[in-house]
Chain A
Amino acid sequence: MRRRGTVLAAAGLLGLAGLTGCSSASSPAASPNPSQGCPVTVADGWVKTADKGMTAAFGTLSNSSSEAVTITAASSPASSSMELHEVVDDNGQMVMQPVPGGFTVPASGSLTMEPGGYHLMLMDVSAPIEAGQDVTFTLTCADGASTEFTAQAKDYTGGEETYKNDGMDSMAPSPSMS
């Protein structure tokens, strides 16, 4: 299954299923010195356009510090609720789920958020996110410090695929995800 189709499908499905119960539990890992702020920066940020409902944002997180940093939460004016997600292979089925404990960016390393992998899930987009629009996001480190980045909204013209999971058979991606 192509990665791009997976995320489209999975994201749409979750939108229909309304999995609002999954929140990003935080179990802090190694924390940087809070007085120095969050040493994570985000490059190449982009967010998938959406009229409403759910969509996802991507980019590359880089950690300039010598200790691993965990991102425990994300927020954006574009969505009242956000979660940190990953797509995992569950017995051959690609399943999107919250990442327990958040995203850990290795010391002096990076973590890529991309379709089919880690991503920021916008759970409740109320006003349309249109192509070319700049959307700001704030990521919160385990120690409470935060970092901001801007993502460009892009139409994502990948193919649509249906996605099957327990109790969710024959559900197609919502149109807003195509």
Chain B
Amino acid sequence: MSRRHLLLGGAAAVGAAALPDTPLAAATVDAAGALGQSKEQCWGPHQAGVATRSQAFATYLGFAIRSGVARADLVRLMKIWTDDIERMTQGTAVLADPVPELADVPARLTVTVGVGPGLFRTPGLSHKEQPSWLRPLPPFSIDALQAHWSGGDLVVQIAADDPVAVSHARQVLVGDAKAFAEVTWTQTGFRRAAGTTAEGATGRNLMGFIDGTVNPTPGTDDFDQVVWINDGPSWLQGGTGMVLRRIRMNLDTWSGIDRASREQIMGRRLSDGSPLTGSLETDAPDLDATTDGGLLTIPEFAHVRVAHARNAAERIYRRPYNYDDGVTGGQPDTGLLFTAFAADIDRQFVPIQRRLDRHDLLNLWTTPIGSSVVAILPGFEPGDWLGRRLLT
């Protein structure tokens, strides 16, 4: 038996001491299945799944409310979903689950529920105050939006470190919503599988870039300010805004671009994500630095330059997932489920997207094909239910 095989098969049982030259990381091989038993708290002032360290797998669902459904019906839906979420995230089967065993491995499952502008057409809700940004994004020249990837009266993000947990939660939540809403789109995304890279390491997107470096840090005042809403309509205080953009990557044409050009297009290195003006991933890009020849080191068209906040208001929290839906008509159906959270989408997100629309060279290989803007409801405490302040 090879050393390597031994490590993968039974490192935890054998123990690091028995293998003195074992790399340290081997000691963390999860022989006991602890990853699967990890749970994320579902209660609190904010819903889980936003500040939560990104899980490996996510499914996003867009729902259309069925005609005839009124406010009181949505109350019942939210009570069921709340109960489902409380149980599944804590590793317990939902009521009436014929296969309770499917809930045994929560793997940090979170469910995050948002409401789209269409929800307010529901009888009994039209008088509710909405934030001004709760509407589709303005059109951008790069957009090739498809209706079947866009919008949603309700949008739900389900995420976990195990895809079975995500799928089961999807089945339960869609089944329990059947009387009230129908699914109009489903988008599944992934990051590195849990345990394959150091916890909290920035992931890579499918163009090869380390993606997610410059981002507010959950748990800091900065993050709270960028993300959580604490004014405006009371039903949304403790919530946030979410933009979900399905951005297709043309990986076939991208594969013809050499590494040096790719790094110029991003402004960062492929190897370790460091800016072209620094040596560590965490080094701040120096947007003023020039080369010996007097050119900008991070070019005019580089993504990080164009995306970089021009003022304190333009901050967002990015929580992206890759998607890969195979090859269709010879073309890879691959890209980014670009997910951004911000307290005010118009103020914080739109200016960045506007600039990228005009100046980002990355646009030559990326195309937004879906877009949704929703208000993520505030969290709930035990005994309470999701969306109570909106629906009562």
Contact = CB atoms under 8 A, between A and B. Distances in A.
- Is B a genuine binding partner of A? yes
B44 to A, nearest CB: 22
Interface of A: 2-4, 44-46, 48-49, 58, 115, 130-134, 152, 154-158
Given A130-B76, A132-B77, A152-B83, A157 B95 contact: no
B80 A132 contact: yes
Contacts of A155: 175-176, 178-179
A133 B176 CA distance: 12
A131 B78 CA distance: 11
A152 B98 contact: no
B75 interface: yes
Contacts of B77: 131-132
A152 B176 contact: no
A156 B98 CA distance: 9
Given A46-B95, A132-B76, 9 more contacts: A3-B98, A4-B98, A44-B95, A58-B96, A131-B179, A131-B180, A132-B73, A152-B79, A157-B175
Question: Interface SS of chain B: helix, strand, loop or mixed?
Answer: helix
Closest 4 CB pairs of A and B: A132-B76, A46-B95, A154-B96, A132-B80
A131 B76 contact: yes
Contacts of B78: 132
Nearest to B76: A132
Contacts of A131: 76-77, 80, 176, 179-180
A3 B115 CA distance: 37
A62 to B, nearest CB: 16
Nearest to B94: A154
Interface in B55-105: 73, 75-80, 83, 95-96, 98
Contacts of B95: 44-46, 152, 154
B179 A130 contact: yes
A155 B78 CA distance: 14
A152 B176 CA distance: 12
A48 B98 CA distance: 13
A155 B97 CA distance: 11
A3 B75 CA distance: 31
A132 B75 contact: yes
Nearest to A49: B179
A173 B175 CA distance: 21
